[in-house]
Chains A and B, each alone.
Chain A
Amino acid sequence: MSDTYKISPDEIGEPDAGPLTLPLDGWHRARGGRMVAFAGYWMPVQYEGIIAEHLWTRAHAGFFDVSHMGQLYIAGEGAEAAIEAVLPIDLSTLPLGGVRYSLLLDANGGILDDLMVTRWGTGFYLVVNGATKHDDIAHLRANLPEAVSLTHLADSALFALQGPEAFAALAPLVGGEHALSALSFMRGASFTLGGVDAWISRSGYTGEDGFEIAVPAESAAAIADLICAQPQVKPIGLGARDSLRLEAGLPLYGHDMTPDVDPVSADLLFGINKRRRGDGGFPGADRILPLIDTGSVTRRVGLVLEGRMAAREGAKVLWGEAEVGSVTSGGFSPSLEKPIAMATVAAELARPGTQLIIDVRGRKIAATVTPMPFVPHRYHRKGAA
């Protein structure tokens, strides 16, 4: 046996440097996590099994250690304008504690990373991908004015608690000025958790209601224990994190978007805020703004495959005999019990219902363009019950 594909092979750490360990390394190993090198760190790919962990998260609450991600703090005189000069974000509409998705773009409009930006009282808190964080920091430092400082919050651990029972599990554990119920989707605030200060936002990467929780690294294991002692909660590995986000239609950096892909092709226009579509003034605007009007040549779509054989990244997408695109990520959907994929295809074939063919190791598999998310989002939006 040999693996022809592993999770994110390009994100596996340099073998000579060796993967680094995260604050919960021993905690994961003690709970039977199978550790793999990912984004330069040893991380748990699974505990009891990807399907069981995936379904548990959809039914209850899953605890994810995402401490490999980069947590950055940007502040100083002119920080707001400086961030708007490097990101296509409209910070004027981002309230205190508000969280917003954005894109780090190169001068040609290629995607260098996707990230979350939060307004704190004194500055801005950014969460970027683990595999790209050092490049992101260098890129941002090179593009921020001298008066604006960027701090890498390397001593902060980051967790996610996701699933329909996430609120019930977390609410009794937090204290502070606000009740946890004050948070709606994409809003965050300061709380205390296990006796330490925690920044908690109602956000995540599974399509479920849930929270992302930043705590000091030295308290990481105690807080992980506290959360996982709740009966609704089990620890969940990277494998289920990937299958959950795929079902939720959420793209993964390095796979579904890369520096070779612009936000229009990647179907990520919501990452370019409305005011910026008019004003421009962000990296790549000269290329992206015309594309918004004309449409892109290719487009990211969701595909549902016939049968049970999954298509993986790189599989060719055909329309008749013609090659019209390729799979950017794919796998078996535990919730739908069939294979699903994201692919980049010719824009004229992106309409839902379009019948395509995927070449999986020489086998021709029928696939239907399907609106994403594949599994409905269940976010706790403001004003919802």
Chain B
Amino acid sequence: MPRYFTQDHEWIDVDGSDATVGITDYAQSQLGDITFVELPAAGSAVAKGDSASVVDSVKAASDVYAPVSGTVSEANAALEDEPELVNTAAESDGWLWRMTLSDAAELEGLMDEAAYKTYVEGL
């Protein structure tokens, strides 16, 4: 299952037309202690580049952008009680939402893991 990354520090796992989205470990480390995650509702349509979620840390509220367009199928309910999962497991249990892609071609502009690693090292 390929994983892609955005320049805004989201990751997206793609399995056919289904995908899971979260923020990267680098992103959570920059945000610090996360206290609340505002998640998109199941069934809502998101467009690539739109703010789909907000991650609230002690110091700031940060938008999370949809890496690709599609329809949200599920939000991570575990984050309601445990928003700190985004700190402790950003790239696994701390996922934000699942979605159905509307245009798989949009994945083409995203980075793979190696490219993202290089990108972060350059920041």
Interface residues of A (CB under 8 A from B): 1-7, 45-46, 49-52, 54, 239, 242-243, 307-310, 312, 331-332, 334, 339, 361, 363
Mask of B69-80 contacts with A, CB within 8 angstroms, 1/0: 000000000000
B28's nearest neighbour on chain A, judged by CB, is: A1
Is B33 an interface residue when CB atoms closer than 8 A count as contact?
yes
B side interface size, CB within 8 A: 24
Q: Are A239 and B32 in contact (CB under 8 A)?
A: yes
In the assembled complex, the CB of A380 is this many whole angstroms from the nearest CB of chain B, namely 28
Give the docked Cα–Cα distance between A334 and B31 (Å): 16
Mask of B81-92 contacts with A, CB within 8 angstroms, 1/0: 001000000000
A5's nearest neighbour on chain B, judged by CB, is: B60
Give the docked Cα–Cα distance between A295 and B33 (Å): 40
Knowing that A3-B61, A4-B61 touch, tell me 20 more A-B residue pairs with CB under 8 angstroms.
A1-B23, A1-B31, A1-B55, A1-B65, A2-B65, A3-B60, A4-B54, A4-B62, A6-B59, A6-B60, A7-B59, A7-B60, A52-B33, A308-B35, A309-B36, A310-B61, A312-B60, A312-B61, A339-B35, A361-B54
Is B63 an interface residue when CB atoms closer than 8 A count as contact?
yes
Q: Are A5 and B58 in contact (CB under 8 A)?
A: no
Q: Are A1 and B8 in contact (CB under 8 A)?
A: yes
In the assembled complex, the CB of A288 is this many whole angstroms from the nearest CB of chain B, namely 34
Q: Which one, B35, B36, B60, B83, contacts A4 given CB within 8 A?
A: B60
Give the docked Cα–Cα distance between A56 and B58 (Å): 15
CB<8 Å pairs between A and B, sample of 25:
A1-B8, A1-B10, A2-B63, A2-B65, A3-B60, A3-B61, A4-B60, A4-B63, A5-B60, A7-B60, A49-B32, A51-B33, A51-B58, A52-B33, A54-B58, A239-B32, A243-B58, A308-B56, A309-B56, A310-B35, A310-B56, A332-B35, A332-B58, A361-B61, A363-B38
Interface residues of B (CB under 8 A from A): 8-10, 23, 27, 31-33, 35-36, 38, 54-65, 83
In the assembled complex, the CB of A139 is this many whole angstroms from the nearest CB of chain B, namely 31
Give the docked Cα–Cα distance between A331 and B60 (Å): 8
In terms of DSSP, what is the predominant structure of the interface of chain B?
Answer: strand
Q: Are A1 and B35 in contact (CB under 8 A)?
A: no
A312's nearest neighbour on chain B, judged by CB, is: B61
Q: Are A2 and B33 in contact (CB under 8 A)?
A: no
Q: Which one, A1, A310, A332, contacts B64 given CB within 8 A?
A: A1
Given contacts A50-B58, A332-B58, contact A2 B8 (CB under 8 A): yes
B7's nearest neighbour on chain A, judged by CB, is: A1
Give the docked Cα–Cα distance between A308 and B33 (Å): 13
Q: Which one, B10, B35, B56, B59, contacts A45 given CB within 8 A?
A: B59
In the assembled complex, the CB of B33 is this many whole angstroms from the nearest CB of chain A, namely 4
Residues on the B chain within 8 Å of A5, using CB: 60-61
Top 4 nearest A-B pairs by Cβ distance?
A308-B36, A332-B35, A50-B58, A51-B33
Residues on the B chain within 8 Å of A308, using CB: 35-36, 56, 83
Given contacts A1-B27, A331-B58, A332-B58, contact A50 B63 (CB under 8 A): no
Q: Which one, A49, A54, A310, contacts B36 given CB within 8 A?
A: A310
Give the docked Cα–Cα distance between A58 and B54 (Å): 29
Give the docked Cα–Cα distance between A255 and B25 (Å): 32
